Chain A
Amino acid sequence: MRKKDPDKLSEQLSAYLDDELSDRERRAVERALGSDAEALAQLDGLRHTVEAVRSLPREHAPDSLVGDLTAAAERRQLLDDPGRARAATGGARPWRALLATAAAVLVVGPAAWWMFGREGVPPAERSLTTSRGIGQPFAADDARTEPEAAPPEGAKLAALEKQFADARRDLGVDRQLAARGAPEGPGRSGSGGGQAFKGGPAAEHDKAAIGGTAAPEHHARDEIPGRANTPLVGPPAELAAAPADPTTLLAMMAAPHEPIVLNVTFAGVEARNEAAGLIDNFCQAQTTVPPTPEAGAKDRTADAIRAMARAQGDTNRTQIAVGDRPVQVASARLVTATDGCYVVQVAREQLPAWLDTVTHAASDAGDLELSYGEIRARGREQVIESLRLGAPTYVFDHPTGEPNAESAALGTPVTAPDPDAAERDETADDGRQNRAARAEREPHDADARKREPRGRGFADGETVASAPASQPSAQPGGGHFGEMAVGPTSTAASESWVTLVINLMTAPLTSSAPAAEPSSGGPLTSQPAEPPARGQP
């Protein structure tokens, strides 16, 4: 063999060392080795070389590698990389849609109760508390409100379902439905095939059912055409009975009783990543106010929390002192975050500025780097407008005009009609232009805004869908959540924390302004088919 092809023998020797030869090849090599001293020397040399290579030092992976990778993986999951998400779920993300839907449903009930039904509640009963403890995460409503949702998959879905069921039990949904004689379970939705949305009157009905604070009253407009027909549910009874003491304030910091669902669509993953990173940064500092401060410190704690809640602008954390102990208080607190859905608690006073910053993240990034794409300026406008109205709403923005999976699951977006939508469209591709345009449209000076007490954003009987967005809620008690709205407030609500459910979504990059929304059903133009039943001229 060797005489014919020395390289072949050498190669066979190398493989012989590794025991990678067939029996026939091995026997041939061993025959050659028995008769050829040079081959034997060559084998010896190769063996020394291989042993030397094997003796080379090894490096252990850094201890931080697992942690870094785990964090990176979680972050990627939060950012909902489309490709992996599809791979992970076989092309669908039912649990996320389920979460978003259920969160939206849960949000609407208490928030609507707050907005529409609390006027008759004595101040002492306006404080909010829930059966959920401090630090307990936000629980979404049950999945029965979303019959279109895909069936559960995996443990995550099972956990979500349990969470929904718990929330449903906490809110007494079944009890209320039974009291109203409504059918339960899937299929109880309205004729539109979607969810049965009921406005303020229904909320009052709910409130009466669970708290007995207002007589049920039927109103002509129980449903808003074109909107998701999700039955409103009121808050639990204890929600209206807790005193407004510092302990309650502390509880409120973790009790997500008045969440606002925001679906913010970014043009491109990079833009969304910017916003996600911003949320992470804002929520890094956890509230460390002791859950049960000593009696003497309670008042100071409450004062400190109020002071913190009044912090403005870019101040996201405020150093306060409880007794002699300095306490770091965050004005934004991350409750939970999964798959691009952030549940964040924010000091109400900081909500506009905070959200404005979040929704600005991508547009600022876009200013710096075109490849980041543009945040949908109009979507941002919607967010601001909705906040300005104090409206619990979820906002969609579809650059292509085609609902995506999330919006399909959530139904038609709910938002206030906006007569200025067309005007804003003209500047929708530039956030700065939008801000300037809005400033022209809304020449209210900041001082005037500061004087406006905040609370619910509508006069009695107004509903989310009927309140004009351009109405700056000048009436007493009207809310104002515009960017410039700052200052102390007098209501318990304004001292509370607001829970934001922020769905960060992406849309294909587009260089043009968003297509005009259809005249009905679009985020900015969804008009109620009927005028408001009450409280409207």
Chain B
Amino acid sequence: MEHDGTNQRLERPREQWGSAETAPAGGRRVEEAAWIRRMQAGDLSPFADLVRRYQDQVYNTCWRICGNVEDAHDVAQDAFLKALDSIGDFHGRSAFYTWLFRIAVNLAISQRRRSRQRMMLSLDGSGGSRTDADANARLSEYVADERLDPPEKPGERRELQRVLAAALDGLDDDYRTVVVLRDIEGFDYDEIAAVLSVPRGTVKSRLHRARQALRQALERAGVDDPGRRPRAEQPAGSSRGA
């Protein structure tokens, strides 16, 4: 018997690109190419348009990789400026947004590592990482917003997201990045491979392992399946890449 997978496969989350829709195509790509040519010629006026088009995606990606909004803001800003500085080196061999995200992701990972080093060097004894604390604080705010609860299952969805966000934050950078790019920002495997400069097979493998780790974290917390009770109060924080 062959399984009918039409209801199982997940559509690419294009809506996640927000008002900028998804990766630019057709007229948008042509328009974008014109912007880039103008910027390469020294005209900075299209820069604001490019920023508007991608700021939410870049910012979100940085937020999820860095783990806190402050670093995300700085990294997103740096990414756009670095792209501007290097616009002369962009030859159109890849899509601009792929190129932009490569810059952003690399900066975000570097920032995350620096933050982690600072945390490890910290002698304040407060325990827990700053990024974890920030992420949890923001998530708590989100959880506290009852408007987001589906009326039939109050609290469960938000608890699921809280656990999941903590688990995602606990993943190794390589794994967290592919999850963010694929499941949050909607990149396909080829695009992720281009952003991370890794083979497509590596993307596939990392994504699989990351999802397994997240799945296990949800199972440990008992929130993997609505209706099941949590088996542990403590959220899974460091799945470390499965």
Residues of B with C-beta under 8 A to A33: 2-3, 5, 8
Verify B43–A27 contact, CB threshold 8 A: no
CA distance A54 to B214 in the complex (A): 13
Q: Do the beta carbons of A47 and B10 come within 8 Å of each other? A: yes
* CB-defined contacts of B55 to chain A, threshold 8 Å: 61, 65-66
Query: A87 touching B88 by the CB < 8 A rule?
Result: yes
Binding stretch for chain A, among B69-77, B107-115, B123-131 = B69-77
Interface residues in A12-51 (C-beta closer than 8 Å to B): 14-20, 26-27, 29-35, 40, 43-51
CB distance from A23 to the nearest CB of B (A): 12
Number of A interface residues in the complex (CB < 8 A): 62
In the assembled complex, which residues on chain A have CB atoms less than 8 Å from the CB atom of B60? 58-59, 61
**Chain B minimum-CB-distance residue to A60:** B56
How far apart are the CA atoms of A412 and B189 in the complex, in Å? 59
Query: Would A18 and B182 count as touching, CB distance under 8 A?
Result: yes
Q: Give the contacts of A73-90 with B (CB-CB under 8 A).
A: 73-74, 76-77, 81, 83-89
* B42 A88 Cβ-Cβ under 8 A: yes
Complex contact B85–A76 (CB within 8 A) = yes
Contacts of B1-58 to chain A: CB distance below 8 A: 1-5, 8-13, 16, 18, 38-44, 47-48, 51-52, 55-56, 58
- Whether, in the assembled complex, A154 has its beta carbon less than 8 Å from a beta carbon of chain B, the answer is yes
A66–B51 contact, CB under 8 A? yes
Q: Is the pair A66, B63 in contact by a Cβ cutoff of 8 Å?
A: no
In the complex where A18-B9, A57-B142 touch, is A70 in contact with B48 (Cβ < 8 A)?
Answer: yes
Interface check B84, CB cutoff 8 A? yes
- Alpha-carbon distance between A57 and B145 when the two chains are bound, in angstroms: 11
Interfacial chain B residues near A73, Cβ < 8 Å: 44, 47, 81, 84
Residues of A within 8 A of B84 (CB): 73, 76, 84
Q: Closest chain B residue to A83 by CB distance?
A: B85
Q: Is B95 an interface residue (CB 8 A)?
A: no
Q: Is B233 an interface residue (CB 8 A)?
A: no
Taking a contact as CB atoms under 8 Å apart, the answer to whether A26 and B161 are in contact is: no
- Proximity string of chain A (339-370) to chain B, C-beta cutoff 8 Å, 1 when within and 0 when not: 00000000000000000000000000000000
In angstroms, how far is the closest chain A Cβ from the Cβ of B90?
9
Tell me, rounded to whole Å, the shortest Cβ–Cβ distance linking A312 to chain B.
38
Beta-carbon contact of B88 and A84 below 8 Å: yes
Q: How far is the CB of B203 from chain A (nearest CB, A)?
A: 9
- CA–CA, A33 and B208, complex, Å: 17
Residues in B whose Cβ lies below 8 Å from that of A74: 44
Q: Which of A16, A30, A51 has the most CB of B within 10 A?
A: A30
User: Which of A59, A66, A153 contacts B48, CB < 8 Å?
Assistant: A66
- In contact, A87 and B184 (Cβ under 8 angstroms): no
Residues of A close to B157: CB separation below 8 A: 55
Proximity string of chain B (205-227) to chain A, C-beta cutoff 8 Å, 1 when within and 0 when not: 10110011011001000001100
- Which are the 7 A-B pairs with shortest beta-carbon distances? A87-B88, A33-B3, A34-B1, A61-B59, A88-B42, A61-B55, A14-B208
* A–B Cβ pairs within 8 angstroms, 13 of them: A16-B5, A18-B10, A45-B224, A47-B8, A49-B211, A57-B139, A61-B55, A73-B44, A87-B40, A87-B87, A87-B88, A89-B42, A154-B38
